[in-house]
Structure 1
C-alpha cells in the first residue's frame, strides 16, 4: 500500500466522527456497542463455532483456582463454547491448545487474568490482522488496563453473551525496523504491533544517544538524550508518563513523542495526529547504540544508521469496558455513569494515579478510613 492510499485508509479508520459499531459474539443477542471511531470490524456469525482464548499470568495457586472456576462456569452456562489456552506449561484441564500465526484457530473473545502486562502479552499474540474483543480481569499489580475484578467474572460474561458489553478501541502502533540502506531488519515481513510504547534507550551505556527524529519524512530534531519514547494514548500513562509525557485519553487517535532525560531543557513532549509516521534514526555521531523495548520487552539493538518507523496500526484492541456491567440504580446516586458510558478512564486516573490529589485531601482520606 503506497503512502497516499495508506493515509486515506487511516483517515477513514481513525476519523474523529463518532458512530456506533456492533461487534458480534456467537450466540449473543445484539452485539457489542462502541462509540469509538472503529476500524473494519472483526465480526463473527452466530452459526460459527464460538471460541474463547484464556491468557493468564504465571500459574500461581490463586490463578489456577480462578481458571478452574472459570472453566466450571463456562461448561455449566456456555457448554457450546470452545475454550483455548496458549501453548505453555501447565495447560489447564479440558482446554484446547492455541498457537498464534498462520493457521491459528479463530478466536471470538480473549479473557485475560493477571496484571496490565497480561493484556500487553495478549496483544502480542495477534500481530497480524484484527484483534478479538478482550475481557480483562485483575489479578496483578496496578490494573490501569483491567476493568473487572476477578470476582465479577460471571456477571461480566453474562453481559458479554447477552450483547450488553461496550468496547473501547485502544490504538496500537505498527513498528518497522530498517538498516542503513532502508531494508527491513526483521526476519518476517510483518511489522511489530505495540499497545503501549516503543522506547529507544542507551541501556547500560554511560553515553547519551544521538537520535534523529523525522515526522512524515521531515527532519524534526536531533535528540541527545537517554532515549525517546513513542507511545499510544493508552501508553501515555506508562513509561511516557514517568518520563514527563502528557496523559492522553485512550479514545483519541494520536502518537506521543516523549524524550527521556534530554540534554536540552527546551525539548518538550509532542503529540501528533495518528496519520503521522515517526522515524527515529540512530545518528552517525551517536557514541552508543540504542536498545529498543516494546511494551517493556527488549527486542532489538539499533546501531548508528539504523532506524525504526512507527505508525498507527490499522488494528486496535477492542477492550470491554467496566461500565458495561454497571448497576443502573447507581446512576441516581451519582456514583458514575451507567452501562455503555466510557467513564472507566476518569475513575482510573483518580483512583489509581491519584490525579491532582493534594496533601490535605490525602490526609482527609486516611482520616475517613479510621
Structure 2
C-alpha cells in the first residue's frame, strides 16, 4: 500500500556514507551544511568517522530517534545502513555513488532536489520485507540477525561441494550438493539470486526464493516459498535415506553463512539455519513518479534486446 512519507517534527537526520571515496565524503559534508541551514540537526551514523559539523552517534540504537537516514554510496553502503537499523521504523533515502545502485536509485545530481521533496512530504514510503535468520548450534541460538537482501550458505575456499538439506515446516524438501545456497527476499531477488539464475520477485510478493549456487545436478532449481512458513537448512555429511546424492567427506568447517554480503560465521555439520520473515519491515523512500518496473529497465536493462 502506498503511503506518503511525513518527517513531522523529527528534525533529526543521520548520514551514512562510503568512507573510502572522496566524492561520498565531500557530498556528505555539503549535504550536512545544506540541512543545517534548513534547521535540521544532522548526525553521522555510528561506526563511521563523524562528518564535520555533525554529531557522531555512538550506538546503533540512537538511530531510532532519527526522522530519516540518507545513504551516500552504493548498494553495499545501503545494506550496511539497513543492518545498523535492524528493523527500526526509520526510512532510508539512497543516493547512488556506486555502479548499479538498485537500492540507491537517486543520482548525485538529483540529491538536493530529492531531499527537498522528502522534507516537503512529497515522497512515498515503501515497506520491504526482511528475513530473520538464526544459527542454531547444539540446540542454542548463536546468532539472530536480519537481512534485507539475502542469506547465503557458501562453501569454504578449500572445501569440496557441500551437502545441504532443506526443510519446510520440518518436512524434507530436498537435499542438494552445490557450492552453496541463496535465500533471498523479494528485494534481494535482483541481487546475487538473479546472478545465480533465480527469478525476480516483485517487492509486494510475500515470499522467499531459494536458489542453488552451481548445483551438481540438472534437477536442482530455484524454489519459491511463502514467507509465512519456517525454513530450516542443515549442513550434512550423512544424507537422508533414499537420497540419490553420494556422501562427501565430513563437512566439518567447510561452509560459512553470509548475511547481506557480510560473512558472519563458519557453519559445520549439525548446525542449522532457521529462516523466517522478520516481524519488522524495512522502509525506503521512493519518488512517486518512478516505479519498480522503471528501476528494472533503468538499472538491469530489463527487456532490452542485445
What is the TM-score when the length of structure 2 is the normalising length?
Answer: 0.90
C-alpha spacing 1:248/1:292, structure 2 compared with 1 (3 Å): same
Match of 1:238 among 191, 197, 215: 191
For the 8 Å contact 2:4–2:125, the answer to whether it is kept is: no
Q: Indicate the residue corresponding to 2:140 in structure 1.
A: 183
Aligned 1:194-343 pairs, distance under 5 A: 194-285=147-238, 287-288=250-251, 289-321=254-286, 323-324=287-288, 339=289, 343=291
CA gap 1:105/1:298 in 2 versus in 1, 3 angstroms: same
Whether contact under 8 Å (2:4, 2:121) holds in the other structure is: no
State how many pairs are aligned: 294
| Aligned counterparts of 1:153 and 1:130: Cα–Cα separation in 2 | 24
CA distance in 2, matches of 1:58, 1:103: 20
In structure 1, C-alpha distance between the alignment counterparts of 2:7 and 2:102, rounded to whole Å:
25
The match for 2:7 is 25
> Aligned in 2, Cα 1:174/1:204: closer, same or farther, shift over 3 Å?
same
| CA displacement, residues 268-287 of structure 1 (integer Å, 9 cap, x when unaligned) | 10111110221111113363
1:7 is matched with none
1-structure distance, mates of 2:182, 2:49: 36
Deviations 1:244-268, CA, capped at 9 Å, x for gaps:
1001112222101101111221111
The 5-angstrom pairing of residues 1-370 of structure 1 reads 19-21=1-3, 23-26=5-8, 46=9, 49-76=10-37, 78-79=38-39, 81-88=40-47, 90-102=49-61, 106-127=65-86, 129-179=87-137, 181-186=138-143, 191-285=144-238, 287-288=250-251, 289-321=254-286, 323-324=287-288, 339=289, 343=291, 345-359=292-306
Measure how far apart 1:240 and its partner are: 0.8
Following superposition, the deviation at residue 104 of structure 1 comes to 5.7
Q: Are the aligned partners of 1:100 and 1:125 in contact in 2 as well (CA < 8 Å)?
A: no
Distance 1:216 1:110, change over 3 A: same
Gaps of 5+ in 1: 1-18, 27-45, 325-338, 360-370
| More strand as a share of residues | 2
Deviation track 1:309-352 (CA, whole Å, cap 9, x = no partner) reads: 1111122211111x33xxxxxxxxxxxxxx3xx51x21222222
Aligned Cα RMSD in Å? 1.9
Deviations 1:90-111 (A, max 9, x none): 4211111113345666111000
Cα distance in 2 for residues equivalent to 1:132 and 1:233? 20
Which residue pairs with 2:244 in the alignment?
Answer: none
Between the aligned partners of 2:49 and 2:63, the Cα distance in structure 1 is 20
Q: What are the superposed Cα offsets for residues 115-134 of structure 1, whole Å, 9 maximum, x if unpaired?
A: 0001100011022x423111
SS in 1 for 2:303: coil
Structure 2 counterpart SS, 1:125: helix
Cα shift at 1:290 = 1.6
Q: What secondary structure, in the 3-state scheme, does the structure 1 residue paired with 2:257 have?
A: strand
Distance in 1 separating the partners of 2:102 and 2:262: 19
1:176 and 1:266, CA in 2 relative to 1: closer, same or farther beyond 3 A? same
